[in-house]
């Protein structure tokens, strides 16, 4: 297995099955620190730099919380407008990360341009963690999600995943790569204009993913073990910031999970949503046996702890 020490986490393409299980083991080791709310000093001599060029609640704060839980330091920015990358100078990624690498030992980056973290990794002498790049990928979120499913279901093999929402979404790309490492059947449900692109389907075919597409949640819900959701009403992820202007519309019932829909689901099925949500996942589902998005949120801290500890060489 490849070492995680010093490694960039840019994509789940090529991320191997045994690497998922190694990270899950580390998560299990570190989870009590987060659960008991007792920080440790594992990374006391290390600093995380967060470079967020797009809004975030969960990813930035979970990554920062993970570093604090492990006794490390954190600096960075959550709004590029307050940096030279977001003002008159429009400072390049190359020049920016040539600075940031002196301010810490690992850089967690979110960017509106697909490929920006990979570009940063070319120039930085410290590891880069992709925290979401445009419509590209969101590897730390999906590592969190796979860990959550593994903990909840006891396995990742032999499961039916139903994926609902905008398939241009970065989580959908990362989870599609992740599913290729396990014995998973995938059913995708999205509006036609948000469906898997022909180019991405060619990639999934080459990676032997067993998948098909249907039009309505009702056609897939009965067989689902895991219902994995994203909004279909959402911002443009290629923008640094997309303000809501006027009426943004409602989610059609095809792509909505409600208590009525979940009545047709297996008792054992679970619903994951990385959040934030619009009306595609009604709050009434929060009170059912199926909701696992709050466990997913907690695991977001645990997985980032595992990644930081591994990348910074404390968990070989
Ligand atoms: N799920 C997720 O990436 O959330 P944030 O945009 O709040 O980080």
Helix (H) or strand (E) holding 211: strand 210-214
- How do beta strands 184-189 and 106-111 pair? unpaired
Is the beta carbon of 54 within 6 A of some atom in ligand 1?
no
What pLDDT does 316 receive? 79
Measure the CA–CA gap between 21 and 150, rounded to whole angstroms. 9
Ligand 1 pocket mutation, candidates 54, 175, 242, 274, criterion most atoms within 8 A of CB: 274
Measure the CA–CA gap between 291 and 273, rounded to whole angstroms. 9
Measure the CA–CA gap between 58 and 64, rounded to whole angstroms. 10
pLDDT 10s per residue in the chain (316 long)? Answer: 899 999 999 999 999 999 999 999 999 999 999 999 999 999 999 999 999 999 999 999 999 999 999 999 999 999 999 999 999 999 999 999 999 999 999 999 999 999 999 999 999 999 999 999 999 999 999 999 999 999 999 999 999 999 999 999 999 999 999 999 999 999 999 999 999 999 999 999 999 999 999 999 999 999 999 999 999 999 999 999 999 999 999 999 999 999 999 999 999 999 999 999 999 999 999 999 999 999 999 999 999 999 999 999 999 7
Shortest-distance Cα residue to atom 4 of ligand 1: 58
Domains and their CATH numbers in the chain: 17-138+297-311 (3.40.50.1370), 139-293 (3.40.50.1370)
Cα–Cα distances (Å) from 299 to 107, 140, 303, in that order, read 20, 11, 6
Atom of ligand 1 nearest to the CA of 138: 3
Shortest-distance Cα residue to atom 7 of ligand 1: 57
Is the beta carbon of 275 within 6 A of some atom in ligand 1?
yes
Is the beta carbon of 61 within 6 A of some atom in ligand 1?
no
What is the side-by-side strand order in the sheet with 159-164? 210-214, 184-189, 159-164, 226-229, 270-273
DSSP annotation of 257: B
| Helices marked H in the chain | 17-35, 58-69, 93-100, 116-123, 139-153, 170-179, 198-206, 259-262, 293-311
Q: How many other β-carbons are positioned within 10 Å of the β-carbon of residue 108?
A: 31
What pLDDT does 152 receive? 98
Measure the CA–CA gap between 221 and 313, rounded to whole angstroms. 42
């Amino acid at each position: 297995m490849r070492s995680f020490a010093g490694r960039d986490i840019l994509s789940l393409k090529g991320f191997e099955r045994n690497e998922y299980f190694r990270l899950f083991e580390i998560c299990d080791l570190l989870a009590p620190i987060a659960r008991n709310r007792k920080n440790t000093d594992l990374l006391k001599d290390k600093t995380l730099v967060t470079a967020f060029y797009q809004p975030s609640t969960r990813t930035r704060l979970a990554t920062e919380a993970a570093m604090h839980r492990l006794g490390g330091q954190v600096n960075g920015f959550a709004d590029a407008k307050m940096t030279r990358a977001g003002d008159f100078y429009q400072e390049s990624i190359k020049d920016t990360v040539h600075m940031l690498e002196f301010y810490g030992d690992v850089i967690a980056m979110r960017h509106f341009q697909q490929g920006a973290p990979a570009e940063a990794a070319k120039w930085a002498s410290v590891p880069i963690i992709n925290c979401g790049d445009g419509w590209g990928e969101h590897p730390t979120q999906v590592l969190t999600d796979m860990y959550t499913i593994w903990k909840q279901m006891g396995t990742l093999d032999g499961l039916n995943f139903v994926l609902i929402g905008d398939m241009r979404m970065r989580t959908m790309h990362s989870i599609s790569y992740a599913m290729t490492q396990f014995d998973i059947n995938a059913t995708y449900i999205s509006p036609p204009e948000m469906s898997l692109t022909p180019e991405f389907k060619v990639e999934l075919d080459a990676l032997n993913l067993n998948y098909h597409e249907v039009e309505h949640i009702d056609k897939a819900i009965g067989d689902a073990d895991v219902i994995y959701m994203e909004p279909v009403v959402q911002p443009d992820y290629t923008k640094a910031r997309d303000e809501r202007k006027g009426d943004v519309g409602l989610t059609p019932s095809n792509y909505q999970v409600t208590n009525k829909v979940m009545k047709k689901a297996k008792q054992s099925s679970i619903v994951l949503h990385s959040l934030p949500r619009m009306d595609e996942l009604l709050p009434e589902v929060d009170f059912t046996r199926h909701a696992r998005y709050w466990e997913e949120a907690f695991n977001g801290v645990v997985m980032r702890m595992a990644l930081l500890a591994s990348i910074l060489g404390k968990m070989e």
